[in-house]
A = this chain, B = another copy of it.
Amino acid sequence: MLQPVIPIVAGWMRENPGTLSLGQGVAYFDPPPEIHQSIQTALGSSHLHAYGPYDGHEKLIELIYQKLIHENRIQVHHSHVVVTAGANMAFSHAIHAIADPGDEIILPAPYYFNHHMALSQAGLRPVTVPTRPDYQLDLAAIEQAITPRTRAIVTVSPNNPTGAVYPEQDLRSISDLCRKYLLTHISDEAYEYFAWHPNQHFSPASIPDAQTRTISIFSLSKSYGMAGWRMGYMLVPDSLKDSMRKIQDTQLICPPVISQMAAAAALERGRAWPDHFRSTIHHSQKAIQKVLNDWPQLCSGSNPQGAFYFLVRFHLHMSPEDLVKQWIENFRIAVLPASTFGATGCTVRLSYGAIRPDTLAEVIHRLTSALESSANHPLVGIPSSTSPGPSTAP
């Protein structure tokens, strides 16, 4: 199994102080200041120190229900919320609840690295199905990949690592496939607030009757700049309630109480908070897009519709790891090799969510220098490999 790439690239960055990171997928903004007051209040309470309910504290759960109803248009019924220590844990709980070792889970590729790792660690078989050249879902290929061992189809929209936002119609088609073949639709919506106009985020659990077959996963890490607080949650069918309780009790007992109090304060402030910062992130996206467009012979970038990511393919005969290391050492700018996401060739993921308004100019300067240098690479223009077919990995 591959090593998580982020700590490795972080090591290269430590060896090259001053490197600007377009690596890890994080938002540049902090959580709303209201969480400070909520923590002050919490510090006076003994409840802060005791175990809470396995699924989360009542106040937070109620705020989440209201958010799901009003923002995601999910008329919550036959399903319930479980708060976890981050959305990765929600995904891990989900696959443990619905599948047994040897079962197959369909992952459109390129995929979110941690999903792939979680499946392998759970003894499940990730069945990767390449997306189309524009990184949109290949619905026919997904249907063909379904076997009697398939238990779920995973979608991540807006997508990490490609930046694609799947149209409502395609997500409805996935939900239909899940109904037809009695599968679960695992819908990871961690980037729900980061869809670039005119692309719209759509929650499949809002489809009438879909809640009994949908697990919807959300995160406060990106939405509210709260990565360090480890707060995610999911909406799961009532039929999974007993399983979820067992899994949560075994792994976590209950979500960290202080983080739940901060999360409640953030949700009370509401999506006005991420909305306030979104235009800055979109501005960074457009500035980087403009630079990438200057080098059509060197690279083809995705045209992101959402999330924080460009998936950039370089027409170079070198490994993406070598390119990343070179850029860090020579230009003090870090991206991630996209091999880790199941992308082929010399492809890297460039994350722009962490760029602050006052560092954008320097990012553009360094990126331009790096691209100029790579364009002078002797092998530029020779595509490094072709796209593979569907694959299954243990």
Q: List chain A positions with a Cβ less than 8 A from chain B.
A: 1, 3-4, 6-7, 24, 26, 30-31, 36, 39, 43, 46-52, 54, 85-86, 88-89, 92, 96, 100-101, 114, 117-118, 121, 123, 225-230, 242, 245-247, 249-259, 262
Option from B46, B117, B123, B252 in Cβ contact (under 8 Å) with A85: B252
Does A228 contact B123, Cβ atoms closer than 8 Å?
Answer: no
A50 touching B249 in the complex, CB below 8 Å, given contacts A39-B39, A258-B258:
no
Q: Are A250 and B7 in contact (CB under 8 A)?
A: no
A7 in contact with B228 (CB, 8 Å): no
4 smallest A-B Cβ distances: which pairs? A228-B257, A4-B249, A230-B256, A117-B250
User: Which chain B positions have C-beta within 8 A of A249?
Assistant: 4, 6-7, 88, 114, 117
Q: Within the complex, which residue of B43, B228, B258 is in contact with A51, where a contact is CB–CB below 8 Å?
A: B228
A86 touches B253 (CB 8 A): yes
| Closest B residue, CB atoms, query A242 | B3
Further contacts, 8 of them, CB under 8 A, given A30-B49, A88-B251, A118-B251: A4-B250, A7-B245, A30-B46, A39-B39, A47-B228, A88-B249, A229-B257, A251-B251
Contacting pair B228 A256 (CB below 8 A): yes
Cα–Cα distance between A47 and B245 once the two chains are bound (Å): 32
Report the minimum CB–CB distance from A249 to chain B (whole Å).
4
Chain B residues lying within 8 Å of A253, measured Cβ to Cβ, are 86, 88, 227, 230
In angstroms, Cα B247 to Cα A88, docked, is 11
**Distance between Cα atoms of A299 and B356 in the complex (Å):** 67
CA distance A36 to B88 in the complex (A): 29
